[in-house]
Amino acid sequence: MSIYEIRVPGKICFGAGCTETMGEEATKIGAKRALIVTDPGVYKTGVIDPVKEILSKAKLSVDVFSEAEPEPSYSKLNATAEEIRKNNYDLVVGIGGGSSIDTAKGLSLLFAHGGIGQDYGGVEKIPGPCVPVFACPTTAGTGSEVTNIAVFDDRERGLKQGIVSNYLLARVAFVDPTLTYGCPAKVTAASGMDALIHAIEGYTGNKANTFSDVVALKAMPLIVGSLRKAVKNGSDKEARNRMSEGALLAGMAFMNSGCAAVHALAFPLGSQFHVPHGVANAVLLPYVTECNLSSNLPRYATVAKMLGVKTEGLSNQEAAEKGLAAAKALAADIGIPTHLRELGVPKEALEGLATATMNVTRLLANNPKELTLDDVRGIWENAW
């Protein structure tokens, strides 16, 4: 039997309205000075004010930093930490999509340990606990609220890098679906596909284990059964609630087994062409899966079943192919582009993207098929 670890936040609160308990949780850890981190779009929706009030009622002083960038960069992270470090925050509350929560994690790291973000890039480079983080997703997708990773764009080097450390796990994740009710359709679609891919890669990857299997297999039908509805009608609360729960479980799946080649290709695409993370993954999924299928047929056949394919009487090959078709149909129904050229990627860029992909070794190592540079070139060409 292989050894595996289960890593989850200190606590996860799930359910509509669960952020109301944030004041109690802040009091329990003795927090006095909170910084809420969000982005301008989320700030405008008005979801920050009630949270601010909850924390103020619990007698915390609260500041709001509402300038988190999409696809956050080290340069902005470092400048922000430098500017506000003097306020001695003892709680950082990330409210938003993955980029706001990653920025919150990055700030909590730099507040506690100083230096610049790049000092901690890579795996387990953080020397000790960071300032506690409460993570509150406003999209159902990235899973950042339950992961030990924060991803930053190193613009000077033209690559995205993950800071990976268990010290980045949130003290409490508040997964409150009401925070996603105002999420626009396009973001709902892209982040929902990202969540589905977390479950698929977490389940088919080399490091899959009993725990990641349980949460991935529960996540897939929740997401597939509700994503179309949540995109079509954002006020469908039941669909939103199921998406939040599915994305939470999918986040725990990839946190405990790992993502693979879809994410490995999405990294350079996001960094070089500023394609949002969920869109990059969703466009690439079918092409990576086509290449991977034969390496893990039984698991891709199970994925097909989870995606609603009637697999009785089918061979694993047939089931897996139908699963791939089901994933493509879902992406098409919710308006995801089918090719890279629709995203403004020029054909001449493919070779550079292929070379950059080969450097994302942490994720490629978890891919069920060991990919050569030629395999990766082929995937990029097909996706173009």
Q: Specify the residue, 43 or 254, whose C-beta has the smaller distance to Fe ion.
A: 254
Residue 210 beta carbon to Fe ion: minimum distance, rounded to whole angstroms: 22
Residue 194 beta carbon to Fe ion: minimum distance, rounded to whole angstroms: 4
Q: Specify the residue, 25 or 194, whose C-beta has the smaller distance to Fe ion.
A: 194
- Tokens 């991803």, located at residue: 151
Residue 116 beta carbon to Fe ion: minimum distance, rounded to whole angstroms: 25
Rg (CA), the chain: 20
Q: Rule CB under 5 A: is residue 102 a binding residue for Fe ion?
A: no
Residue 11 beta carbon to Fe ion: minimum distance, rounded to whole angstroms: 23
CB-closest chain residue to Fe ion: 194
Q: Specify the residue, 169 or 309, whose C-beta has the smaller distance to Fe ion.
A: 169
Alpha helices in 10-158 (DSSP H): 22-28, 40-45, 48-57, 74-84, 98-113
Residue 244 beta carbon to Fe ion: minimum distance, rounded to whole angstroms: 16
Judged by CB under 5 A, the number of residues near Fe ion is 1
Cβ atoms of 203 and 216 within 8 Å: the answer is yes
Phi-psi region of 339 (alpha: psi -120 to 50; beta: other; left: phi over 0): beta
Q: Specify the residue, 132 or 286, whose C-beta has the smaller distance to Fe ion.
A: 286
Q: Specify the residue, 26 or 255, whose C-beta has the smaller distance to Fe ion.
A: 255
Q: Specify the residue, 145 or 194, whose C-beta has the smaller distance to Fe ion.
A: 194
Q: Specify the residue, 267 or 300, whose C-beta has the smaller distance to Fe ion.
A: 267
Residue 321 beta carbon to Fe ion: minimum distance, rounded to whole angstroms: 24
Phi then psi for 255, rounded to 5 degrees? -60, -35
Residue 100 beta carbon to Fe ion: minimum distance, rounded to whole angstroms: 15
Residue 137 beta carbon to Fe ion: minimum distance, rounded to whole angstroms: 12
Greatest distance between any 2 Cα atoms in the chain: 65
**Per-residue contact string for residues 125-164; x = within reach of Fe ion by CB under 5 A:** ----------------------------------------
Q: Which two tokens stand for residue 159?
A: 């690559």
215, 176, 174: which is closest to 198 by C-alpha? 215
Query: What is the identity of the amino acid at 95?
Result: I
Cβ atoms of 239 and 353 within 8 Å: the answer is no
Q: Specify the residue, 132 or 202, whose C-beta has the smaller distance to Fe ion.
A: 202
Around Cβ 127, how many Cβ atoms within 10 Å?
10
**Per-residue contact string for residues 179-218; x = within reach of Fe ion by CB under 5 A:** ---------------x------------------------
Cβ atoms of 26 and 55 within 8 Å: the answer is yes
Residue 216 beta carbon to Fe ion: minimum distance, rounded to whole angstroms: 14
What H or E segment, with its residue span, contains residue 380? Answer: helix 373-383
Provide CB contacts within 8 A for 23, sequence distance 6+: 54, 55, 57, 58, 60
Phi-psi region of 122 (alpha: psi -120 to 50; beta: other; left: phi over 0): left
Q: Which two tokens stand for residue 6?
A: 């289960």
Q: Specify the residue, 99 or 316, whose C-beta has the smaller distance to Fe ion.
A: 99
As a whole number of angstroms, the distance between CA 158 and CA 160 comes to 7
113, 116, 96, 93: which is closest to 104 by C-alpha? 93
Residue 348 beta carbon to Fe ion: minimum distance, rounded to whole angstroms: 27
Q: Specify the residue, 201 or 375, whose C-beta has the smaller distance to Fe ion.
A: 201
Alpha helices in 92-209 (DSSP H): 98-113, 185-204
Note the residues at the interface with Fe ion (CB under 5 A): 194
